A and B are shown apart, each in its own frame.
Chain A
């Protein structure tokens, strides 16, 4: 059974703080993704990675960066958090062997005050 875990379920940060969101998957998946979920907007792709140290911008990368030093771990970094980054953040992973089904983590609800 695929497990995707995220470091925090809830996080409250102040404007200007540097924020790290961690995601770990245990199925040796090549692909990993970071989305943000906002009401009425669905899931929007921030960044994805198809291999260690590889990263590609998604649709809304501004204000975010990512790091993938190990295959199982994909980190999302908010360099200087702003209130408009208050959202639910979902990590996912997939593999060609699973026909690209994305397995999601439980989500991190980030509030920036």
Chain B
């Protein structure tokens, strides 16, 4: 079946450093790629998304890049802060957003 692979599963960085999380997807019909952040004990929340007609999108300290040819997309967090510590999920979805396939998640630790 279709799947989304996410790496690394755990990432530890020093405060102020950058963090990069990478995902690959298998369904070439995927055209919407959201990223969700889940803090400990809380619900996942959308932090940024990108559509297939765009190669890069930025929102303050976070950015997402998409390479449709290679079926890769990545999340970049710059100047990390302790409050960035959470589990991050990438996802891939086709038109309609019905069958969204999530990656397994990356647990990010930002050390003060």
Contacts and interface: CB of A to CB of B under 8 A. Distances in A.
Do A and B interact?
yes
Interface of A: 4, 31, 33, 35, 40-45, 48, 50, 56, 58-59, 90, 94, 96, 99-102, 104-107
A100 B96 CA distance: 7
Contacts, number: 58
A100 B44 contact: no
A40 B104 contact: yes
Interface residues of B, number: 24
B22 to A, nearest CB: 15
A43 to B, nearest CB: 4
Contacts of A102: 34, 36, 44, 46, 97, 100
Contact of B104 (A31, A35, A42, A101): A42
A43 B96 CA distance: 18
Nearest to A44: B102
